[in-house]
Amino acid sequence: MELDVLIAYLFRWIHFFAGIAWIGLLYYFNFVQTEYFKEADPAAKASAISKLVPRALGWFRYGALFTFLSGLALAGFLGAATNFYISIGMLLGTLMFLNVWLIIWPNQKTVIASNEQVLAGGDPIPEAAAALGKAGLASRTNTLFSLPMLFFMGASAHLGGYGRVPLSAEGGASTAAMALCVIIILALQANAIKGKMGPMASVVGVIHLGLALAVALLLIIQYL
């Protein structure tokens, strides 16, 4: 076995392992923990924020980091095989990584610190409520992005069509198609920074929106 093939596979394995940890915890936060917190009594919720959430966020953010870094390494090894599908997946994954480290984690630190102050008998941090909302919106957006991201990552190797051709080849997805896909994704990202939850507030809503986004991006790439 050639060394470069072995190294590429090692990065792919790290990418899979870290990605499973990251996306698995993303779904835990959005599909399980958030729904539990809506029903939990204040004492149970405060205890979970103090003892459970920091541990889960540790695995979550470093899972995102190692997924991103191993993905960059893979992109370097497989640059010639880059296609339209994987490019969309990489864009979505990169935005999700940035949301974790620049929005979700900083704001969750404020929420955790506020909770610790309350448990110690003090007052909550005034900015905690707004921080929770910002983290929640970014997390929901990552859940929305995750469905098309996973779809296009898999489609890059297993789904036929124009999207699989290299970016440098003729006859593939048009520049207009790629530009429209990027505009849609960046508009949703802008909403994650300064927008509203909208239909993403419910588990069913964010899943439906994620599926709709995947279908829309696929149709744009294939037919525009």
pLDDT at 96 over 90: yes
Report yes or no: 143 and 210 within 8 Å, Cβ to Cβ. Answer: yes
Report yes or no: 146 and 97 within 8 Å, Cβ to Cβ. Answer: no
**How would you class 145 by CB atoms within 10 Å of its CB: exposed for 0-12, middle for 13-18, buried for 19 or more?**
buried
pLDDT tens, 147-170?
999 999 988 877 776 666 666 555
Reported as a pLDDT band with limits 50, 70 and 90, residue 81 is: low
For the chain, domain boundaries: 3-223
Residue entry with tokens 């593939």:
172
Mean of pLDDT over the chain: 92
Of the chain, the percentage scoring pLDDT greater than 70 comes to: 92
pLDDT tens, 5-60?
888 889 999 999 999 999 999 999 999 999 999 999 999 999 999 999 999 999 99
CA 172 to chain centroid, in Å, comes to: 27
Task: Give the pLDDT of residue 158.
Answer: 79
Query: In what helix (H) or strand (E) does residue 146 lie, and over which residues does it extend?
Result: helix 128-158
Return the SS3 of 170: coil
Core vs surface per residue 37-46: b (16+ CB within 10 A) or e: eeeeeeeebe
The structure's pTM equals 0.93
Task: Give the pLDDT of residue 23.
Answer: 98
Of the chain, the percentage scoring pLDDT greater than 90 comes to: 76
β-pair partners for 166: 83
